[in-house]
Amino acid sequence: MPVLRFAELTWEEVRALDQARAVAILPVGATEAHGPHLPLATDVVIAEAMARNGAERLSARGFTACVLPPIAYSAAPFAAGFPGTVSVRPETAQALIVDVARALAAHGFRTLALANAHLDPAHVATLHAAAEAIRAAGAPWVVFPDLTRKPWALRLTDEFKSGACHAGRFEGSIVLAERPDLVREELRKALPPNPASLSQAIREGKRTFEEAGGPRAYFGFPADATAEEGRATVEVLGAILEEAVLAAIPVV
């Protein structure tokens, strides 16, 4: 079955979907600083790539996979000091996701999968809270593979696992694969490595990119990014989403 772009359907086409086999996939990102070389929409680009690849895999299994329009605003306090970052209150982001789920359930959707690429701790906590609220309401089933946790984090690249992975090789490679037109290539190739680990900084109580050692809003090895690695990583992200959905939903 083909992957469906939810917002490109008509209301009658949505009504005609086989709801028992339908999976609505919500790409979730942020609008925030990603170094001097990647766009503010980096997390949205990655989330949409994950959603698309996961949808393709689920469609091949006979599910009706619908990719929803992405959420591009969420809590982003780590990057809030950089121009262009739009950080909203966690409760605002949570309410939006819960309301989206409620609206989908009202029209018969039974499964909602979150394809998230924004890893700010405040945002990740918001998604967990939203998922719990959706589950408490009874419908739809919600699936959220948290890339910051095992087993999913162990499937990703060495740079990702090091914690030095904001606008570095991991994210830069995916944007090169998906939207090379948005990468400032001369800047990217000239950037020195910044091996400071964001995950370690978070454990130490740091609250901003500046405190964590990222004065230009990047961590990792941006000059080492390649489109080839980006395409391979998108495949892994799609497989993670597929596996999480298959593990979480009842057999239909």
pLDDT at position 251 is: 54
pLDDT at position 166 is: 98
pLDDT-above-70 percentage for the chain: 98
pLDDT at position 141 is: 86
Domain, as residue range, for 42: 4-248
Q: Let me know the angle formed at the C-alpha of 171 by 90 and 53, rounded to the nearest 5 degrees.
A: 85
Find the helix packing angle between 42-60 and 227-248, rounded to 10°: 60
| Residue whose C-alpha is closest to residue 49's, from 185, 220, 240, 198 | 240
Residue 139 pLDDT > 70, yes or no? no
CATH of the domain at 13: 3.40.50.10310
Q: Are 120 and 214 in contact (CB under 8 A)?
A: no
Q: Are 110 and 140 in contact (CB under 8 A)?
A: yes
Burial code (b: 16+ CB inside 10 Å, e: under 16) for 81-95 equals: ebeebebbebeebbe
Residue 11 pLDDT > 60, yes or no? yes
Question: Parallel, antiparallel, or unpaired for β 22-28 and 64-67?
Answer: parallel
Report, as an integer, the average pLDDT of 92-102.
96
CA distance 39 to 33: 7
Query: For residue range 227-237, what is the model confidence (pLDDT) as tens digits?
Result: 999 999 999 99
Query: How many residues comprise the chain?
Result: 252
Tokens 């910051």 belong to which residue? 148
pTM for this prediction: 0.96
What mean pLDDT is reported for the chain? 95
CA distance 137 to 101: 10
Query: For residue range 15-28, what is the model confidence (pLDDT) as tens digits?
Result: 999 887 899 999 99
| Residue whose C-alpha is closest to residue 49's, from 246, 244, 230 | 230
Report, as an integer, the average pLDDT of 88-93.
98
Q: Count how many domains the chain has.
A: 1
pLDDT at position 250 is: 64
CA distance 18 to 142: 18
Question: Parallel, antiparallel, or unpaired for β 64-67 and 111-116?
Answer: unpaired
- The strand ranges marked E within 93-226 are 111-116, 141-143
Report, as an integer, the average pLDDT of 132-158.
92
Residue 34 pLDDT > 90, yes or no? yes
Residue 163 pLDDT > 60, yes or no? yes
| Residue whose C-alpha is closest to residue 90's, from 126, 43, 41, 142 | 126
- Please state, in angstroms and as integers, the Cα–Cα distance from residue 108 to each residue in 17, 97, 101, 136, 190, following that order: 9, 17, 11, 17, 51
Q: Let me know the angle formed at the C-alpha of 67 by 61 and 70, rounded to the nearest 5 degrees.
A: 150
Query: For residue range 189-229, what is the model confidence (pLDDT) as tens digits?
Result: 999 999 999 999 999 999 999 999 999 999 999 999 999 99
